[in-house]
Amino acid sequence: MRSFDELVSEAASADVSGWGFSWLDGRATEERPPWRFVRLLAERLGRAECALDIDTGGGELISEIPLLPRQLTVTESWAPNAQWARERLADRGVRVVETEQGAPLPFADASFDLVTARHPVTPPWAEIRRVLRPGGRYFAQHVGPASAFELIEFLLGPLPENRTGRDPEREVAAATAAGLEVEDLRTARCRLEFFDVGAIVWILRKCVWWVPDFTTAGYESALRELDARMRGGQPFVAHSTRHLVDARRP
């Protein structure tokens, strides 16, 4: 294995744009939820007439779907991601709309028969219901509570008050209060393994909300401790949490 400084320097300068994770190939692994979201999403989009995908990132997921609806709109609030989505999806006729987090969705009432999302920032339940047609569906995979907290708390210390965020039952209650009927909710806890310190530096640069003040200099001591552990043949193990939500506007 290369030196600590070489691994950290490489990861600190590597590209973290967009929403792909191929840089981690061979350096980290993540178990996937058992429901195979991409396959299920492809089935739903293949049957839809007019659909909306929210918080689409750089369009990476939508670009994998073989058959898209006749009308598909995607939203993204981070300008660089929105531009990458435009470039990636232009040839497939997908409309990309740049939005502002927390603002109303810029679409008329009852515009879509399907709204989808993979890992939305904060599901805008009232807005989702508003833009769905009667009988329309919301189908999404959300990040669950305390996802990757083994790594986050290793660096930041215990965060008990943060462990209850993104609770699936609370999200069901919020969706119900907004007028949606949640017909299916599934949860999963999936194993993450990191094999070198560069993988950890890269993921913390990618997922900036995990450790908001992260810098390699500011966390050098903890990174060196992780590096020593992994050089001894012990990967750093964390767990991501996910839940699948299938809801309907009556």
The pTM score is 0.92
Quote the CA–CA distance of 57 and 18 in Å, as a whole number.
7
Domain boundaries, the chain: 4-248
Who's near 96: CB < 8 A, 6+ residues apart?
A: 56, 59, 73, 74, 75, 76, 82, 85, 86, 89
For the chain, 250 residues long, the average pLDDT of each consecutive 10-residue run is 96 89 95 97 98 96 97 96 95 97 96 97 96 98 97 96 91 98 98 98 96 97 97 96 98
* C-alpha 113: how far from chain center: 23
pLDDT score recorded for residue 17: 82
pLDDT score recorded for residue 107: 98
What letter does residue 187 receive in the DSSP assignment? E
Coil, helix or strand at residue 32: coil
Nearest to 11 by CA among 205, 207, 235, 220: 205
pLDDT score recorded for residue 1: 84
Tokens 């017909």 belong to residue: 183
Quote the CA–CA distance of 239 and 146 in Å, as a whole number.
9
Quote the CA–CA distance of 26 and 103 in Å, as a whole number.
39
Which amino acid, residue 191?
R
Domain 4-248 has CATH 3.40.50.300: no
pLDDT score recorded for residue 167: 96
